[in-house]
A = this chain, B = another copy of it.
Amino acid sequence: MAKDWDKRMSLENVKVLLCDTFGTIVDWRGSVARMGERVAYEKGIEGVDWDAFARAWRAGYQPGMARVRSGERTWTGIDDIHRERLDEILSQFGIEDRFSEAEKVDMSLFWHRLDPWPDSVPGLLRLKRSFLISPLSNGSLILLSAMAKRAGIPWDFVFSSDIFKAFKPDPAVYLGAIELLGLEPAQVMMVAAHNDDLEAARSHGMRTAYINRPYEYGPDQTKDFDATSDWDVITDGIDGVADAMGV
């Protein structure tokens, strides 16, 4: 009780919630698989496991960002990384000659049309009443803005990797966000389904909220089945963050 009270009091300073997006706010695996199934149906393509396709596509995301993070490659946005990886997995799945260039461009925009988890929009609408809310995502500005418009995600503003020309967990992203806000780090809370994202945020003095999303990666999920540290908030949906923040 005393501990809960202390925590609530310290969270009273929070003014801004920054949310990881892929996996935390939106279900990329289910969304990409559904869009793939629809395209396959329209084109009469059979025998593709679109859930595996979505996971393979996503698996190219970390290595693609790592080359930029390490400086091996100059700044390259996530839309280009998605597009490059698409060519690889289309041939991996043996369907590269079933799509025109225009269709491939449209497929790479699947990532602009991801569906939120069911608790995300209701939870964010509650949080928006009392806090400034924004993504802090490795997505691009146009991806995050287009996704939000389609899905009704009510961001107050959008922090994207291309604003900071860096990908999380590069400190430039967290520190850049705090500096732009002109706030103390403890006035800013990172909301994420990934312990390593929260680890980085906490190392810079931010508050932390962990959302448990044990189905994000489906059969490929190897971690983030549970909180691995005493994050300020630990819950299983964005509505749970709203509960914890008392709004």
Nearest-Cβ distance from residue A154 to partner chain B, whole angstroms:
9
CA distance A149 to B144 in the complex (A): 19
Of the residues B77, B145, B183, contact of A156 by C-beta under 8 Å:
B145
Provide the A118-153 mask, 1 if CB < 8 A to any CB of B, else 0.
000000000010001000000011101110110000
Question: Is chain A's interface secondary structure helix, strand, loop, or mixed overall?
Answer: helix
Instruction: Decide if A180 is an interface residue (CB 8 Å cutoff).
Output: yes
Nearest-Cβ distance from residue A127 to partner chain B, whole angstroms:
12
> For residue A77, which residues in chain B have a CB less than 8 angstroms away from its CB?
182
> For residue A156, which residues in chain B have a CB less than 8 angstroms away from its CB?
145, 148-149, 155, 158
Nearest-Cβ distance from residue A166 to partner chain B, whole angstroms:
14
Decide: A141 and B162 in contact? CB cutoff 8 A: no
Instruction: Decide if A181 is an interface residue (CB 8 Å cutoff).
Output: yes
CA distance A223 to B14 in the complex (A): 43
Q: How many copies of this chain does the complex contain?
A: 2
Instruction: Decide if A215 is an interface residue (CB 8 Å cutoff).
Output: no
Instruction: Decide if A197 is an interface residue (CB 8 Å cutoff).
Output: no
Nearest-Cβ distance from residue A177 to partner chain B, whole angstroms:
10
Instruction: Decide if A236 is an interface residue (CB 8 Å cutoff).
Output: no
Instruction: Decide if A93 is an interface residue (CB 8 Å cutoff).
Output: no
Instruction: A132-B146, A142-B181, A145-B156 given; name 20 further pairs at CB < 8 Å.
Output: A77-B182, A79-B182, A128-B149, A132-B142, A132-B145, A132-B149, A140-B182, A141-B180, A141-B182, A142-B182, A145-B157, A148-B156, A155-B157, A156-B158, A157-B157, A157-B158, A158-B158, A160-B180, A162-B180, A163-B163
